[in-house]
């Protein structure tokens, strides 16, 4: 195994020990107990991703507003809210790490 692969494995292990990852895993286990709810969450996440990647700014604002209204009640479910919050926290951790790696490599 090359040195960089060992470093990546160490990093993955370190991430798994963070409070963000552990919270995500706990919330994921809760969601997995409800297959229908998990399917709804997955559909929500796909739709959210698609909306965030739209290019038309005027349409984007309308779609986001519509999306938020459509899923307002859904997001009030504590299982959904807790899972999405844990997922967001883990994503932000990974984004922060990626930004630091990119900056440390002077990668433009």
User: What are the boundaries of each domain within the chain?
Assistant: 19-104
* pLDDT confidence band for 105 (50 / 70 / 90): very high
Return the pLDDT at 30: 98
Lowest mean pLDDT among 29-38, 49-58, 98-107: 49-58
Candidates 87, 74, 78, 79; CA nearest to 23 is 87
Give me the chain's average pLDDT, please.
94
Band of the pLDDT at 61, cuts 50, 70, 90? confident
Per-residue pLDDT, 63? 87
pLDDT at 58 over 80: no
Per-residue pLDDT at 94: 97
Q: How far apart are CA 73 and CA 71, in angstroms?
A: 6
If we measure between CA atoms, which residue out of 44, 28, 37 comes closest to residue 89? 28
């Amino acid at each position: 195994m090359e040195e960089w692969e060992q470093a990546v494995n160490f990093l993955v292990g370190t991430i798994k020990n963070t409070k963000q990852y552990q919270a995500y895993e706990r919330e994921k286990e809760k969601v997995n107990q409800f297959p229908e709810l998990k399917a709804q969450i997955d559909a929500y996440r796909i739709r959210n991703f698609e909306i965030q990647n739209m290019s038309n700014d005027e349409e984007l604002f309308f779609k986001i507003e519509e999306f938020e209204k459509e899923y307002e009640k859904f997001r009030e479910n504590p299982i959904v809210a807790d899972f999405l919050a844990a997922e967001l926290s883990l994503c932000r951790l990974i984004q922060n790490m990626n930004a630091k790696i990119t900056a440390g490599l002077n990668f433009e």
